[in-house]
Amino acid sequence: MAADREEVRRNIAAVRSRIATAAARSGRNPEDVSLIAVTKTVEVDQIRWAIEAGIRVLGENYVQDLRRKRDEIGSGTWHFIGTLQSSTAHRVADHADVVQTVAGERAARRLAGRAARAGRMLDSLIEVDLTESRTGVPPAELPAFADLVASLDGLHLVGLMTVPALADTAEDARASFARLRRLRDEIREEHPDVLALSMGMSLDYEVAVEEGATMVRIGTALFGPRSKPQGSKPQGTRPRNRPRDREEPT
């Protein structure tokens, strides 16, 4: 059952508290961690309640929902966190402030071209696949792909994003988070603006913060269990063997 207004407020406070505690355990400033409220299948009223409770950054999976919710709400910084496809990348460029899932050359070029023609510089993260079974750039190909993205007019490469393999405990994700941090540090040697690490969801965000996350993508822990989408269709076919969404386990 979806959370009501008071539950959303309490949930946000609880997540922020846990982020602060996890940051303290690793000697970090909790202000360095951005809480991204994931709005996939979340109703506009719930999103407004979250904004009332202090949420300023939102993440959406489907471009048509991104456009509709952004238009209805009229505030916030919106991250696109769904599969970036060449067929819809131009629309993502029109409506997103940040794109977290750059992973293919054709889609990246179309995203960049649309942003450049609009006079925009779109903050972008490369999605890295550490599971060998998901959408994303394999670690071995990451340096070359980072060079490509950084060279594109219209895109500003600012970080890396990943979703670990489905696991039984949050601790099981620690190795993936630590690996993404090391990859980020390697990429920064050539691309010093690559600072962001988007990793950690409702089940494992505290471990992600301990391992250096600068963005955590939280849906269920804020809004309650996900409902089925109403009137939204995925942007193209989802890859097979996808055990977990980018923001929340099903």
Q: Where are the domains of the chain?
A: 5-223
Residue 194's closest CA among 209, 212, 210?
A: 212
Better-scored residue on pLDDT, 239 or 137 = 137
Q: What mean pLDDT comes out for the span 160-178?
A: 94
- Provide the residue count of the chain: 250
CATH superfamily of 5-223: Alanine racemase (3.20.20.10)
Task: Answer yes or no: is pLDDT of 233 > 50.
Answer: no
Better-scored residue on pLDDT, 68 or 245 = 68
Task: Answer yes or no: is pLDDT of 42 > 50.
Answer: yes
**Secondary structure of residue 201 in the 3-state scheme:** coil
Confidence of residue 48 (pLDDT cuts 50, 70, 90): very high
Quick one: pLDDT at residue 250? 29
Q: Are 47 and 58 in contact (CB under 8 A)?
A: yes
Report CA torsion sign: 211, 214, 219, 220: positive
Quick one: pLDDT at residue 240? 36
Quick one: pLDDT at residue 239? 39
Q: What mean pLDDT comes out for the span 107-114?
A: 98
Pairing between β-strand 77-80 and β-strand 196-198 as defined by DSSP bridges:
unpaired
CB atoms within 10 A of CB 175: 13
Instruction: Please state, rounded to an integer, the average pLDDT across all residues of the chain.
Output: 92
